[in-house]
Amino acid sequence: MVAYSEWRHNNVYEGIAENGNTIFFDTDPAHSHGPTPMEVVLMALCSCTSVDVVSILKKKREPLKGLRVTATATQAPAPPRVFTHIKLTYAVRGQLNRKAVEDAVSLSKNKYCSVSLMLEKAMPVEYEIVYSEDEPEP
């Protein structure tokens, strides 16, 4: 796997993967051209674990109607502003077997999610599961 970054202008950088996919990073306080690199780390964590949980629940034939994973991170107060703690909230929708959901989240966190396992080498990553049969809030 290869990736690189090109400085485009001011505080805007373009990240490019070897397959050509791109993402713009913006370190300006307004972030009008894209997320910061640290925000992308959190988005990658949420996406990685979401893929696992959805896949596992589908294999278990659970009637999943929706999943939103939110990451709340604490950063060090001074540079380097590394994450010191992350809490994931899994908001699941559907009439689901709670043990199946708990097992799926646990498998993701402890076995399958590469991003989570990598980050846990540096800080605690905790989680909670919120169940709802309703539609998500906007």
Is 93 a member of any domain?
A: yes
The CATH number assigned to the domain holding 2 equals 2.20.25
Question: How large a percentage of the chain has pLDDT more than 90?
Answer: 90
Nearest to 40 by CA among 119, 126, 93: 119
Asked if 124 and 59 sit in the same domain, the reply is yes
pLDDT exceeds 80 at position 87 = yes
Q: What is the DSSP letter of 39?
A: H
Is 74 a member of any domain?
A: yes
Confidence of residue 132 (pLDDT cuts 50, 70, 90): confident
Q: Are 125 and 90 in contact (CB under 8 A)?
A: no
Domain count, the chain: 2
Asked if 105 and 45 sit in the same domain, the reply is yes
Is 138 a member of any domain?
A: no
pLDDT exceeds 60 at position 137 = no
Question: How large a percentage of the chain has pLDDT more than 70?
Answer: 96
Asked if 81 and 115 sit in the same domain, the reply is yes
Is 137 a member of any domain?
A: no
Asked if 54 and 3 sit in the same domain, the reply is no
The CATH number assigned to the domain holding 110 equals 3.30.300.20
Confidence of residue 138 (pLDDT cuts 50, 70, 90): very low
Residues 6+ apart with CB under 8 A from 63: 94, 95, 96
Asked if 100 and 113 sit in the same domain, the reply is yes
Asked if 2 and 45 sit in the same domain, the reply is no
Measure the CA–CA gap between 122 and 124, rounded to whole angstroms. Answer: 7
Is 99 a member of any domain?
A: yes
Q: Are 58 and 101 in contact (CB under 8 A)?
A: no
pLDDT score for 38: 94
Domain of 21, in residue numbers: 1-35
